[in-house]
Structure 1
Amino acid sequence: MATDDDMWIWDGGRVCLDFTNTLRYRWRTAPEETLRTPDDLVLWLQQAGLLTPGSHDSADAAVLASGRRLRETVDRAVLAVADNRLPLSGDITMLNRSAAQAPRPALQIAVTDGRLEPAGTANIATDASAALALIAQDAVELLLSAEILRVRVCGADECALRFVDRSPARNRRWCSMSRCGNRTKVRLHQARARRSEHTPAD
């Protein structure tokens, strides 16, 4: 079961992108799987705020396999639409079917200035399958929003995490400046320093 604090990264800007990022280093022949067991999936869903605490028995090997299939479906569909292409018809079907299983949000009420008003909705599942449906729902909403055109892949050579670029100039290159951005700048600086050391002086 995953316990490393750095095992999961939450820089995607959307829960569906954070979920796609549970498969790390996608450029490798053998990417790093962080959802190795049903317990890993349950813990991720809980930390993402999609699953009620104490739901440890709500996932088995079949639910884990379903979650991984959903993750790859989301990834293919999001990257396609971000690239101005249509998703595969099978991916659209899977996303629609999965999103349709999402629990209906419970409308909440509050008293404001002596009047009853909506107080938002509580959108959290009590089992892992329903929580996965919430991820599919978020992916559908992203695919239909203008924000889909802001989806990027981290520019670091050894990363490839997906994220929404919400920078004012729309020029964010890294999933995280503190992680990939700084590492890349340090590596480039060191490479320039090595080249200058081997360049003969005039």
Structure 2
Amino acid sequence: MATDDMWVWDGGRVCLDFANTLRHRWRSPSQETLRDPGDLALWLERAGLLRPGPPDHADAAVLAAGRKLRETVDRAVLAVSDGRLPSPGDVTALNRAAARAPRPALQIAVTDGRLEAAGTTSIAADASAALTLIAQDAVDLLLSADIRRVRICGADRCALRFLDRSPARNRRWCSMSRCGNRTKVRLHQARTRRGEHPPAD
């Protein structure tokens, strides 16, 4: 069974975090973190999409459907973020997955004296319904202006997907504390080995 440290929550959207459950996409074979139905149920619980409960929330068929949905989401999001249309098959698959359950009810909140959206109710009773929430999030992302902010981590050995919410829209790493710092350290060590010095400030 996967452990929490195998999962990364830096995607900025639940559908991107789900796409990131297939790690190391830059190499072959990549690393599957949803190895059994229990992994899928645990990930859905940790993502806040599934009520905690017994491990029989998911079975082999639901796991296969989840992995298939994950790759559909990934292909569609990367296509649209690159200015292309997703394949007709991916559009159909996402629409079907998103329609399997009613959309969660939109919630409101008062924040700093203003009325604003507070997200949606998003706890499902079973893993299949939780996968529907992921498909609905992907459809929302594909239709929003945020789709142009989807990035792939710039680290050579990462390839995690994330939503760039930086004001300048120039975020390069899925996480500065993980990939950003590691890359900077590696580049510094390489310069040091070559006898180069960084330019003075």
TM-score (norm 1): 0.89
In the alignment, what sits opposite 1:46? Answer: 45
Matches within 5 A, 1:100-139: 100-106=99-105, 121-139=120-138
In the alignment, what sits opposite 1:190? Answer: 189
Q: Is the Cα contact below 8 Å between 1:8 and 1:34 reproduced in 2?
A: yes
In the alignment, what sits opposite 1:178? Answer: 177
Give the residue type in structure 2 aligned to 1:162: R
Change (3 A) 1:136 1:172: same
Give the residue type in structure 1 aligned to 2:28: T
**What are the ranges of 5 or more consecutive residues in structure 2 without an aligned counterpart?**
110-116, 197-201
Look at both structures and tell me which one has the larger radius of gyration over its CA atoms: 1
Structure 2 Cα separation of the partners of residues 185 and 87 of structure 1: 35
**What are the ranges of 5 or more consecutive residues in structure 1 without an aligned counterpart?**
111-117, 198-202
**% identical aligned pairs:** 79
Change (3 A) 1:107 1:135: closer
Structure 2 Cα separation of the partners of residues 25 and 123 of structure 1: 29
Deviation readout 1:117-168 (Å, 9 max, x if unpaired)? x987422110000100100000000000000000000000000000000001
2:109 counterpart of 1:76:
no
Shift of 1:85: 0.1
- The alignment partner of 1:130 has SS state of helix
Give the residue type in structure 2 aligned to 1:156: A
Change (3 A) 1:109 1:34: closer
- The alignment partner of 1:6 has SS state of helix
- The alignment partner of 1:163 has SS state of strand
Deviation readout 1:72-112 (Å, 9 max, x if unpaired)? 000000000000000000000000000001344257799xx
Q: Is the Cα contact below 8 Å between 2:149 and 2:163 reproduced in 1?
A: yes
Change (3 A) 1:95 1:108: closer
Change (3 A) 1:179 1:53: same
Q: Is the Cα contact below 8 Å between 1:82 and 1:149 reproduced in 2?
A: yes
Q: Is the Cα contact below 8 Å between 1:103 and 1:125 reproduced in 2?
A: no
In the alignment, what sits opposite 1:97? Answer: 96
Q: Which runs of 4+ in 1 moved over 3 A?
A: 106-110, 118-121
Structure 1 Cα separation of the partners of residues 106 and 25 of structure 2: 39
Structure 1 Cα separation of the partners of residues 166 and 54 of structure 2: 36
Change (3 A) 1:48 1:90: same
In the alignment, what sits opposite 1:160? Answer: 159
TM-score (norm 2): 0.89
In the alignment, what sits opposite 2:2? Answer: 2
Change (3 A) 1:121 1:16: closer
In the alignment, what sits opposite 1:142? Answer: 141
